[in-house]
Structure 1
């Protein structure tokens, strides 16, 4: 496969109490690394797509540990810059049954939060690449990352890359002086492909799926067609819009599906019952990676693309940590209808 994907954003140290303990119970934490864009890069690497991950890491042992963690999955790291005082951290309390998960961020003044224009040579980072992916998390962190992200999307378009974005609205992060509604429209205008969910479209652009009831578990594809149509109408450069459809029956049991809209036709994937969630963090990133893989592999077969994206991200819910480590073959097996979970001998 000669398609190369570049992803840009912050990767953090993730600390979570073992099992399903509360923060107040914890006497130790499980340690992994993760972040929206790195999650996409790792997943794509597992599908056999050449990937390059771009970020800024501190020049200390934690920064080096994070770098080595990413490298082990076959992701390119040659354009990661080193500097800044610290690695961002997030704490995750895993929800179960009717108790939802909780996230506490500790990422102020992180290496990526203090990045400045000109620190990354985007022309070199994009050399030989065909695709650039970013998320709405990056410009939410601080003014510096927002400026660097704008540099990146402009250069990517100048160099002819396809640009994708996961809108990824995070209310806890937009604290630096501007809102998502002020910053995101300028960035999204450079995008060819965008994904999101009901909260992203509503909180960032004021576009709501009127008939959806997420907390009641009602997320029907038809209710989101209007959202996709309005996004395409607002951003004429968007060629594809995908929306994940998560019905939250409880923290342990979700329904999972997705739609893909190409400006004319709405494609819907099968609905999966994810009835025993191991780790839902990174599910949307796994969907994004599956979507990118499908678009560059299956061409105009958009039904197959959305089916693959949903199958791959469904399987992510069975894997601990941010990264989706399933193979292309495993996703295709589920996509073909084998949801038995039988032992492979």
Structure 2
């Protein structure tokens, strides 16, 4: 199995309206669990990697149910710390065609938002780790969460653990008096691999291609523009060895195009594009990309193109799976990479 991958962040109770009901129509909700870094850990555990998810949860039955769910997916939970008041919740209304999906957060005063540096023994957590992954969601929760995340990155850097981040800008979360551009640079400075979408680099760091609006591309790849974003990011964060941008073209809520680019060693790799015509659940799509990317970079260390193609294929499949977690196998992803997207019955 090799050395473990550690992820750190908030896991929430997800309450989704059944089918395509609006919040105002729903008389019941489907309960699952999810959250950026937990979603990545589940992907990696599915691919057979040893994973450890670090968070802070209250001592109650909902938290216990959450831990049981993680364990059921072979995610390590022994470094989870306990304290605080509650498990965060998010409500999901799934959109259809011209109506977008909606998320309502109920995560104020959750256990992880009251975490402080010193609560997690990072030296112990990383002692047999090869990789540490965090997202921009964690430092958005509170000053304490931002400080604990920075503490983890610094220890990982000292111990020679590869650090990756998904910028994951969420404007609705930055509520404690600091902005993303004040907090994020110090954390991103410690990263070897950075993932963003077209808007993250602009919203967090003000980095965008000259005279070009990436949101108006419909997800089409213009290599020069994306290369410009990647080179600017690497100039700002010289530790970064690989910069990856996901490309989502939203035709409507059920139909997206999907792909990505990876910039490293002065060259831009462009993935094949997938046309996802009947989306089942796109929540966790970016996390499934990150899970695929980490697996790809670990498994194909000399082939960035293959790592990128694995990430895009894995996240393409995630759009067909209900819930936050991407429950696919390496074989299924590799089949799609080879071009088998027919959906024929396997028997």
- TM normalised by structure 1 equals 0.98
Q: Partner of 1:21 in structure 2?
A: 21
CA contact (8 A) 1:291 1:306 kept: yes
User: How much does 1:263 deviate?
Assistant: 3.8
Q: Partner of 1:129 in structure 2?
A: 129
Q: Partner of 1:277 in structure 2?
A: 279
Residues in 1 aligned to 2:3 and 2:116: alpha-carbon distance in whole angstroms: 29
User: What RMSD over aligned residues (CA atoms) do the two structures have, in Å?
Assistant: 1.1
Q: How does 1:1-345 map to 2 (within 5 A)?
A: 1-209=1-209, 210-214=211-215, 217-222=218-223, 223-345=225-347
User: How much does 1:30 deviate?
Assistant: 0.5
Residues in 1 aligned to 2:222 and 2:64: alpha-carbon distance in whole angstroms: 43
C-alpha spacing 1:297/1:57, structure 2 compared with 1 (3 Å): same
Residues in 2 aligned to 1:294 and 1:74: alpha-carbon distance in whole angstroms: 19
User: How much does 1:218 deviate?
Assistant: 3.9
- TM normalised by structure 2 equals 0.98
Deviation readout 1:181-231 (Å, 9 max, x if unpaired): 000000000000000101211100011245455466243141311111110
Alignment length, in residue pairs?
345
User: How much does 1:65 deviate?
Assistant: 0.7
C-alpha spacing 1:261/1:71, structure 2 compared with 1 (3 Å): same
C-alpha spacing 1:213/1:152, structure 2 compared with 1 (3 Å): closer
- Which consecutive unaligned segments of at least 5 residues does structure 2 have? none
CA contact (8 A) 1:221 1:245 kept: no
Moved over 4 A (4+): none
CA contact (8 A) 1:229 1:263 kept: no
